[in-house]
Structure 1
Amino acid sequence: MSYLLKRTAQAVFTVFSVITLSFVIVRLLPGGPADFLRAQLIQQSGGSLTQEQINQRIASQTNLAVDEPLYVQYVDYMAAILRGDFGTSTWHNEPAAAVLGPAIPWTVFLMATSLFIAFVLGVVLGAFMAYREGSGFDVGSTAVSLLTNSVPSYVIALLLLTFAGYRFGWFPTGGQYASGLEPGLSPEFLLSAMHHGALPIVSLVVASFGGWALNMRGNSIRVLGEDYLRVARLRGLPERRIALRYVGRNAILPMYTGLLIAIGFMFGGSIILEEIFAYPGVGYYMIQAIGQRDYPVMMGAFILIAIAVTIGVFVADVTYGVIDPRAEGGEARESY
């Protein structure tokens, strides 16, 4: 129980620190959002707005009452963020939460699908590589895994977009689904969503499955050398049972933490890909916000990404002892 309380406190402190950092960036850095908005409002109004009106607009867009003491601004900012109020987007002219909220399911769909496919493909391939260690299949698969794991996903994305998108026209080059379709669970909409998400999903799978395969191969080879496998074979246990229940289970366990952390990175892992494929997810709006200096959307996306990663690490820490009873309590259960 003390371990759970400790990890919970660490997770809460991390999220609290991230929100505090966003306050510092917004309020204290020279040339930050408040200063930028002030200069923009003065220029646009041509001097027709009073200082009080300018401060009110800055407060509505950044959640900062610039005419209040710093500690009051901090408390108000923290309270607004905890309510899910990231301020008003200066580019979209609507709450930043309203901009990012509809984009979250699309980023989750993109990243969760690609992560699931890459993980399953990597685990299966890595297990076969380990069982055929030193064979031509192992050498060739290792080379392919190293190559794909070394190439950034955005390079693969550009190649797929150029050939499968523009040159041959097999897949759409932007959007979440075909225009004119009503979002829902209809077969037409689901097929269109998969068609539009195919290229970014393939890009992420190709760029990441090799890493999972190499990890699984290394873990499996280590497990295959354990004494208890020799005992299992001497007992006459079927090789299929040994492969699945002894080798596979123990080889996957060390990858569990990395999988949950990868889930946490879902919101930030697709930033460049969503921009390349004009796929309106959280990463797409974050890149757009950086280009337009839309600080409320930018900081909202930053906070969402940080919270997702923190939750992923937290879940990995508190559940690892459940899936692996050999894990001890306390510091021995730390996943990083």
Structure 2
Amino acid sequence: MNYLARKISFYVVALWAALTLNFLIPRLLPGNPVEILIQKLAARGPITPELRNSVELLLGDTSNDPIFVQYVNYLKGIFAGDFGVSITYYPQPVVEIIAQALPWTIVMIGIGTIIAFVVGITLGMLAGWKRGSWLDNLVPVTTMFQAVPYFWLALILLYVSAVQFKIFPVSGGYSYTGAGPSWDWDFISSAIYYGTLPALTIVISSFGGWLLGMRNMMVSTLSEDYIVTAEAKGLRPTRIMMAYAARNAILPSVAGFAISLGFVVSGSIVTEQVFSYPGVGSTLLQAVNNNDYSLMQGLFLVITLTVLGANLIVDLLYTVIDPRTRARS
């Protein structure tokens, strides 16, 4: 119980620090959201003082208020679920924009990351168990993909599979022949078809690192005394590999899995731009280009909560996999 309380306390402090940075970083960027929106509206007609005042009220412009007052109002808005109005997609609220973009990234990033983790861990376990086999000799080739930048690999896959062989579409998140996003099978199958290539980019560029890490940990674990004892007892090789070697070798990979989510999300910004995929990465890039404070803060908050939540779940899962952690606490 004390272990759980300490973990939750740590993540509460981490969440507060993330919220504070989320408040400060956009305000360090040059530019004024009100002026950006005024410039957009100026193309439609003259800007009157009344219109400027209405824009300031709509966007909640508090640039003249003390920084502490801005911070308190920001926290109140966060806990009330009010992230403001987006400049980039004016007059759409930030909550609606995030609700539209988040499912695309969750499906593509989430499924791609899970597949890369499972494939990498499985192959790494087999490569470490069968040292010197053909699979073990392929480890340097698979890890080479991890050194390739996301956008470079995305462009190669896009050229080969979409341009040359026309297996997958060139861009987009779904077929625009239908009425739009819905829960019918036509749209779901279209979204799967369009999201396969971006997800495949993440899998190919990520699984090599998991494979190498798991393989090295398996080799190290197989030299431990309890493995020798299990072999001396005459246990089946499959049981030794799964219940003794792999269970202990996977611990560092489980701990690093949640941390990698943050890097995958940041890498998806470029990947989504290459494929014109309607996810969080593309939306965040548009928000940064337009100094859209409200949208940036909302997206940063969602990403932060996702990574912190994943880390908390993995920390709790770690105590189940390795009871020694709970005992030491």
TM over 0.5: yes
Q: Distance in 2 between matches of 1:240 and 1:166?
A: 44
Q: Secondary structure at the match of 1:217?
A: helix
2:105/2:279 contact within 8 Å kept: yes
Tell me whether 1:164 sits opposite 2:161 in the alignment.
yes
Q: Distance in 1 between matches of 2:47 and 2:118?
A: 61
Show the counterpart of 2:237. Answer: 239
Q: Distance in 1 between matches of 2:26 and 2:210?
A: 38
User: Greater shift after overlay, 194-203 or 294-303?
Assistant: 294-303
Alpha-carbon shift at residue 188 of structure 1 (Å): 3.0
Q: 1:309 to 1:217 in 2, by over 3 A?
A: same
Structure 1 residues 96-149: Cα deviation after superposition (integer angstroms, max 9, x where no partner): 11111111111010011111211121112112211232344422x122122112
Q: Distance in 2 between matches of 1:171 and 1:21?
A: 40
Structure 1 residues 35-78: Cα deviation after superposition (integer angstroms, max 9, x where no partner): 7448748977756215xx635523422x4434544433222111
Show the counterpart of 2:73. Answer: 76
1:41/1:54 contact within 8 Å kept: no
Q: Distance in 1 between matches of 2:38 and 2:184?
A: 48
TM-score (norm 2): 0.88
Q: Distance in 2 between matches of 1:121 and 1:287?
A: 30
Q: 1:199 to 1:41 in 2, by over 3 A?
A: closer
Q: 1:183 to 1:106 in 2, by over 3 A?
A: same
Q: Distance in 1 between matches of 2:216 and 2:85?
A: 49
2:150/2:267 contact within 8 Å kept: no
Alignment of 1:138-177 (within 5 A): 138-139=136-137, 141-177=138-174
Alpha-carbon shift at residue 25 of structure 1 (Å): 3.5
Aligned-pair identity (%): 35
Show the counterpart of 1:227. Answer: 225
Q: Distance in 2 between matches of 1:33 and 1:289?
A: 13
Show the counterpart of 1:202. Answer: 200
Q: Distance in 2 between matches of 1:156 and 1:41?
A: 36
Q: Distance in 1 between matches of 2:233 and 2:6?
A: 43
Tell me whether 1:102 sits opposite 2:117 in the alignment.
no
Q: Distance in 1 between matches of 2:267 and 2:156?
A: 19
Alpha-carbon shift at residue 315 of structure 1 (Å): 2.3
2:34/2:56 contact within 8 Å kept: no
Q: 1:170 to 1:38 in 2, by over 3 A?
A: closer
Unaligned runs of at least 5 residues, structure 2: none
Q: 1:295 to 1:167 in 2, by over 3 A?
A: farther
Q: Distance in 2 between matches of 1:74 and 1:42?
A: 28
Cα RMSD of the aligned pairs, angstroms, is 2.6
Structure 1 residues 192-219: Cα deviation after superposition (integer angstroms, max 9, x where no partner): 2221011111111110110000011011
Q: 1:38 to 1:160 in 2, by over 3 A?
A: closer
User: Greater shift after overlay, 128-137 or 274-283?
Assistant: 128-137
1:38/1:58 contact within 8 Å kept: no
Alignment of 1:1-336 (within 5 A): 1-27=1-27, 29=28, 31-34=30-33, 36-37=35-36, 40=39, 48-49=48-49, 54=52, 56-61=54-59, 63-93=60-90, 94-139=92-137, 141-181=138-178, 183-263=181-261, 267-328=265-326
Unaligned runs of at least 5 residues, structure 1: none
Q: Secondary structure at the match of 1:326?
A: helix
Alpha-carbon shift at residue 264 of structure 1 (Å): 5.3
TM-score (norm 1): 0.87
User: Greater shift after overlay, 71-80 or 256-265?
Assistant: 256-265
2:102/2:279 contact within 8 Å kept: yes
